[in-house]
């Protein structure tokens, strides 16, 4: 729902926006919470009776024009990715007062931070939650979107499809800000220090690997119940992210598998190139680890915060209902005042006009409801198309990732072989020199030619194997390049 923390407003003070209809269709029913820049309400679409979460910029920040740009970016980023584990954005627009609003799916569940506060998680549960986050971010990165502010407050653990640990990533407000220098000036530090990558802490642009670093922090936090780096001073915390080696999670929990610890420490590497190549690489590691873990019993036992039942939906648009009631009351008053039906011409004319207006309002409401449903159908088709493109991109990106990793492995093997080839050539040169210096010493000549033969044979074998490594590496790189071309063609369809 985009909620970062519960609201601190007094329960006794009535929110003046409650009951208000935003943009003529979203009735605000209750205040859900407040974040760093937004206020989130439970709302209901009065025409199609859909419960949603509606975000507005906090009243004290509504003069900050850049926040409007962030909210629009959040909507675009989430809709561009369109993944099951990323919150759905239904609508974005302006209120009658010119304030921007964002409409999201309404989620029943708990934040990951609340779950972590209960204590370290079972290994299998933490891996499952991490795998879902990784899958969502892999899709986002494939489509050119970097979240930039992953943290436990921005992750919802909800119930869906019989599972209580169904993950939803929220708040893409900082996503891909690097593309707009007006929103992200060079050297500016954006994000949450506890989860910030070293490159972000240096004021550099966030990249996909920056999100992977945040996943490492989250994995550490889920398994140990604490953050890898802690300090009450922001600058000290940023310096720790830049320079300090992370502690081993096994220091705080003895039953953490070695595989899990390796994954965490690799994700928390200071250099982006030392982390996993991409989300697909990490996802494969997690899938492999899941095969060694117990079955997912937590899906039946996980505690999720209870939510109060929703109020009953209104039967019609409240404005139309009120207008119809007023018209009916007026007509009844006229009938009582003139029981013989001989009302003055101007009164009868007003009665006819009011009746016509009430009928027209009811008819227009029906047309509006029909158009709203048609629009929703069109939006569903658009979402289905984006999701299909996203799945194709995800498959291609997975193949690209594996091809690049295979090519890198071939190149590493080639580098090792080149060193052996150099040593073999030196041995060949030494053997040739030995033969030249042998003069008439038969034994020395024999040993020289014998060594020369071995060295030449080694050079030939190493050279042939090196050519094989080179061919395989180029083949993998060509495959990766072809997949990248296909990915870019699909991404162009989302612009």
372-392 confidence digits (pLDDT tens): 677 777 777 877 888 888 889
Q: Does 6 reside within a domain? A: no
Q: pLDDT at residue 437 above 80? A: no
CATH number at residue 94: 3.30.200.20
Greatest mean pLDDT range, 201-210, 356-365, 429-438, 452-461? 201-210
Note down the domain range covering 423.
392-492
Last residue in a domain, options 249, 273, 301: 301
149 is catalytic: yes
398 forms bridges with which residues in the sheet?
Answer: none
Q: Positive or negative, the Cα torsion across 228, 231, 234, 238?
A: negative
- 133 and 274 fall within a common domain: yes
Residue 324: band (very low, low, confident or very high) from pLDDT cuts 50, 70, 90: low
Structure tokens at 159: 């119930």
Q: Does 371 reside within a domain? A: no
Q: Does 10 reside within a domain? A: no
Q: How far apart are CA 22 and CA 35, in angstroms?
A: 20
Q: Does 385 reside within a domain? A: no
Average pLDDT, whole number, for the chain?
82
Domain count, the chain: 4
Q: How far apart are CA 398 and CA 403, in angstroms?
A: 9
Is the Cβ–Cβ distance between 213 and 197 less than 8 Å? yes
- N-terminal to C-terminal alpha carbon distance within the chain: 26
The whole-number average pLDDT for the span 338-349 is 73
- 229 and 146 fall within a common domain: yes
Q: What per-residue confidence (pLDDT) applies to 137?
A: 95
36-73 confidence digits (pLDDT tens): 677 899 999 988 888 999 998 877 776 666 666 777 77
- 83 and 226 fall within a common domain: no
Structure tokens at 206: 């966030």
From 82, 110, 142, 149, active-site residue: 149
- 295 and 398 fall within a common domain: no
Last residue in a domain, options 71, 105, 139: 105
- 163 and 252 fall within a common domain: yes
Q: How far apart are CA 155 and CA 80, in angstroms?
A: 19
Q: How far apart are CA 56 and CA 33, in angstroms?
A: 11
Q: What per-residue confidence (pLDDT) applies to 24?
A: 85
- 146 and 30 fall within a common domain: no
Residue from 401, 397, 406 nearest 474 by CA: 406
Q: What per-residue confidence (pLDDT) applies to 192?
A: 87
- 337 and 322 fall within a common domain: yes
Q: Does 387 reside within a domain? A: no
The whole-number average pLDDT for the span 327-346 is 72
Q: Does 31 reside within a domain? A: yes
- 437 and 335 fall within a common domain: no
Is the Cβ–Cβ distance between 270 and 198 less than 8 Å? yes
Q: pLDDT at residue 176 above 70? A: no
Q: What per-residue confidence (pLDDT) applies to 448?
A: 73
Q: How far apart are CA 487 and CA 485, in angstroms?
A: 5
Q: How far apart are CA 323 and CA 140, in angstroms?
A: 47
Q: How far apart are CA 120 and CA 237, in angstroms?
A: 23
Find how far residue 421's CA is from the centre of its chain.
Answer: 47
- 442 and 488 fall within a common domain: yes
Instruction: Return the percentage of the chain with pLDDT > 90, whole number.
Output: 40
Q: What per-residue confidence (pLDDT) applies to 485?
A: 92
- 464 and 332 fall within a common domain: no
Last residue in a domain, options 105, 121, 151: 105
CATH number at residue 202: 1.10.510.10
For residue 132, how many other CB atoms are within 10 A of its CB?
23
DSSP assignment, residue 5? Answer: B
Residue 173: band (very low, low, confident or very high) from pLDDT cuts 50, 70, 90: low
For residue 283, how many other CB atoms are within 10 A of its CB?
22
Higher model confidence: residue 479 or residue 390? 479
Residue spans of alpha helices (H) in 163-207: 198-201
- 297 and 343 fall within a common domain: no
- 92 and 221 fall within a common domain: no
Q: Does 406 reside within a domain? A: yes
Q: Pick the range with the lowest mean pLDDT from 32-46, 143-157, 433-447.
A: 433-447
Rg (CA), the chain: 32
Q: Does 467 reside within a domain? A: yes
């Amino acid at each position: 729902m985009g909620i970062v923390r519960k609201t601190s407003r007094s329960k006794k003070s009535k929110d003046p926006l409650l009951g208000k209809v935003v943009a003529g269709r979203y009735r605000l029913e209750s205040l859900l919470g407040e974040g760093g820049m937004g206020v989130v309400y439970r709302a209901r679409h009065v025409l199609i009776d859909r419960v949603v979460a509606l975000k507005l910029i906090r009243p004290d920040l509504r003069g900050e024009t850049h926040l409007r740009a962030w909210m629009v970016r959040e909507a675009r980023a989430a809709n561009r990715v369109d993944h099951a584990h990323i919150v759905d954005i239904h609508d974005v627009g302006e209120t009658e007062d010119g304030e921007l609003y964002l409409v999201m799916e309404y989620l029943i569940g708990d934040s990951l931070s609340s779950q972590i506060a209960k204590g370290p998680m079972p290994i299998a549960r933490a891996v499952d939650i991490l795998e879902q986050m990784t899958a969502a971010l892999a899709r986002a990165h494939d489509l050119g979107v970097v979240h930039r502010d992953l943290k436990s407050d921005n992750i919802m653990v909800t119930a869906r499809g019989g599972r209580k640990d169904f993950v939803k990533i929220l708040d893409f407000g900082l996503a891909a800000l690097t593309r707009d220098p007006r929103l992200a000036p060079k050297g500016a530090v954006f994000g949450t220090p506890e989860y910030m990558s070293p490159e972000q802490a240096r004021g550099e642009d966030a990249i996909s690997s920056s999100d992977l670093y945040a996943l490492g922090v989250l994995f550490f936090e889920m398994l140990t119940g604490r953050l890898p780096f802690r300090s009450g001073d922001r600058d000290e915390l940023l310096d720790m992210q830049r320079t300090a080696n992370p502690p081993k999670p096994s220091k705080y929990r003895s039953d953490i598998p070695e595989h899990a610890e390796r994954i965490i420490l690799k994700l928390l590497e200071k250099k982006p190139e030392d982390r996993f190549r991409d989300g697909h690489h990490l996802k494969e590691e997690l899938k492999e680890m899941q095969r060694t873990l117990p079955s997912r019993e937590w899906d039946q036992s996980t505690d999720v915060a209870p939510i109060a039942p929703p109020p009953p939906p209104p039967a019609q648009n409240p404005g139309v209902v009120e207008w119809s009631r007023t018209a009916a009351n007026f007509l009844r008053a006229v009938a009582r005042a003139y029981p013989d039906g001989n009302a003055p011409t101007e009164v009868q004319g007003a009665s006819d006009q009011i009746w016509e207006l009430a009928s027209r309002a009811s008819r227009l409401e029906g047309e509006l409801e029909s158009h709203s449903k048609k629009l929703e159908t069109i939006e569903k088709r658009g979402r289905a198309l984006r999701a299909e493109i996203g799945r194709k991109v995800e498959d291609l990106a997975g193949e690209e990732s594996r091809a690049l990793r295979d090519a890198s492995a071939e190149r590493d093997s080639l580098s090792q072989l080149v060193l052996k080839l150099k040593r073999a050539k030196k041995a060949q040169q030494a053997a040739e020199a030995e033969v030249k210096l042998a003069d008439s010493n038969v034994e020395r000549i024999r040993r020289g030619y014998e060594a020369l033969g071995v060295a030449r044979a080694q050079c030939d074998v190493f050279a042939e194997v090196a050519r094989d490594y080179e061919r395989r590496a180029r083949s993998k790189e060509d495959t990766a390049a072809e997949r990248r071309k296909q990915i870019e063609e699909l991404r162009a369809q989302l612009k």
